[in-house]
Amino acid sequence: CTFGGRSIVPDVAVFRTERIPRDHDGQVANSFNLHPDWTIEILSPKQNQTKVIRNILHCLDNGTKMGWLLDPEESLIFVYSADKSVQLFENLEVVLPVPEFAEAVQLKVGEIFDWLKE
């Protein structure tokens, strides 16, 4: 994703259908020169947390509705809202907040980390 003078590659970038760029044949474009609607980062042991947070904040500054930062080592998830407020989730049974456009999605903290173990 290239926008706001930077290029970032989140682990997961979610776009509403109507915002997915298409080429002249109607196929999904090879490059996305816009912010994701929802960005999800999974922190790896050797990854710099500050750099990852900076990328999430860059997304939020440019129109992204929500960012998640998953820390598998600590089994916790930071949720960054569009207003840059941050919530910490570590109770495995709690349903995580999602952007309004994805409100039908119901994911528990524990489900997310179970997927990462598979």
CATH code, 108: 3.90.1570.10
pLDDT tens for 14-44 read 999 999 999 999 999 988 989 999 999 999 9
Q: Quick one: pLDDT band at residue 2, thresholds 50, 70, 90?
A: confident
The continuous run of DSSP H or E covering 69 comes out as strand 66-71
Q: By residue range, what is the domain housing residue 92? A: 2-117
- What is the pTM assigned to this prediction? 0.91
Convert 41-80 to b/e letters by CB count within 10 Å (16 or more is b).
bbbeeeeeeeebbebbebbbebebbbbbbbbeeebbbbbb
Question: What's the rounded Cα separation, in Å, for the pair 45 and 61?
Answer: 26
